[in-house]
Amino acid sequence: MRYALKVQYIGKNYAGSQIQFKNGEPIKEPTIQGELEKALSTLIFGNPENNNRQFKTIFSGRTDRGVNSFGQVVHFDTDKDIVASKFVYQLNEILPDDISVSDLRQVESNFHAQKSAKRRHYRFEFINRKCKNAFDGALMRVKYPTDEKRMQNSLNYLLGEHDFSSFKGSGTLNPSKVCFIERAKVQKLGDRVIIDIVGNRFLYNMVRTIVGTLLEIEGHNLEPEHMLRVLEACDRRKAGQTVSPYGLTLMEVTY
C-alpha cells in the first residue's frame, strides 16, 4: 500500500531535505529525509537504524539547506495497515521538534510525490528595514527601501512558460530548463516583504536567484524591464546573486 504524508519542517539545522551520497555512501549530515525515514522505520519495523535504507521515502522535490516547508509531500510503501490519526500522533512524538507531519492518507499505487505534482508554491520573505530587530530571526534584512509596485512589475515578466536558464544554479541536473510560472505576487506588510511564486516546476536555486535579481533591480534603481532582459539572455551571469535560503518556504504542492 502507498501512503502520502504532508511534512512541515524548519530547515535551519539540516543539510537539505534529501539524503546526499558521495561515492555511493550517504553523507553523514542530518537531513529531513533521514530523520523521517528513521522515525517511520521505528514505527513500522521497530528498527530506527533502517539499515541499508530498506525503507525509502520519495519527496515531491528537493529543498536546500536552510529552506523550510509548510507543505512538502512525501510518499512511501508498506504492507502494513495504518490508522492515520494514531500513526501521525506517534510519528510526531518521535520526530525532532523542528519536523512534523500534518496529514497522512492512503493513495493510489500509481501516485508519485514528485512526478504526479502539477504545481508548487514557494514563498520568500525578507525584512526591509535599516536596523535589526531581535525577533527577525534568520530572515534576510535588506537595508535600502524597496518599492512594491516596481517589484511586482519586475515579477510580471516571469509569468508564463519560459526558459529559466538565467536563474538556475550549477547543481541543476535536469536538462530541461523550461518552467511555467502561473503566479508571481509581492506584498509588503509593514517592514516585511513576502514574495509568492507558483509554477509547475522549479530549477535548482531558481526562486532564490529570482529574488536576488529583484533586489539587484531595486538596489540599483534599474527599470523593471531588466528582469525581462535577464530572462531572455538565458545566461546565469546576467542574473543577480542567489540570496540566503533562510526565508524560503515550500508552501504547497498540488496534484
Instruction: Over range 141-149, report the average pLDDT.
Output: 97
Contact call for residues 231 and 164 (beta carbons, < 8 A): yes
Give the residue with greater pLDDT, 20 vs 243. Answer: 243
Residue 45: the pLDDT is 81
CA distance 225 to 221: 11
Instruction: Over range 234-238, report the average pLDDT.
Output: 96
pTM score, whole prediction: 0.92
Residues 6+ apart with CB under 8 A from 33: 17, 18, 19, 57, 59
Residue 27 clears pLDDT 90, i.e. is over it: no
Instruction: Over range 123-148, report the average pLDDT.
Output: 96
Instruction: Over range 202-225, report the average pLDDT.
Output: 97
Residue 54: the pLDDT is 65
Residue 169: the pLDDT is 85
Lowest mean pLDDT among 76-80, 218-222, 249-253: 76-80
Q: What percent of the chain has pLDDT over 70?
A: 95
Is 64 considered catalytic here?
yes
242-254 pLDDT, tens per residue?
999 999 999 999 9
Residue 51: the pLDDT is 58
Q: Position of cell 534584512?
A: 141
Residue 127 clears pLDDT 70, i.e. is over it: yes
Residue 174: the pLDDT is 67
Contact call for residues 70 and 10 (beta carbons, < 8 A): no
Which residue ranges form the domains of the chain, and what is each CATH number? 2-107 (3.30.70.580), 120-254 (3.30.70.660)
Q: What percent of the chain has pLDDT over 90?
A: 85
147-201 pLDDT, tens per residue?
999 999 999 999 999 999 999 987 666 678 999 999 999 999 999 999 999 999 9
Model confidence at 81, in pLDDT bands (50, 70, 90)? confident
Instruction: Check 64, 81, 147, 191 and give the catalytic one.
Output: 64
Residue 228 clears pLDDT 70, i.e. is over it: yes
Instruction: Over range 230-238, report the average pLDDT.
Output: 97
Residue 67 clears pLDDT 70, i.e. is over it: yes
Residue 172: the pLDDT is 62
CA distance 217 to 226: 7
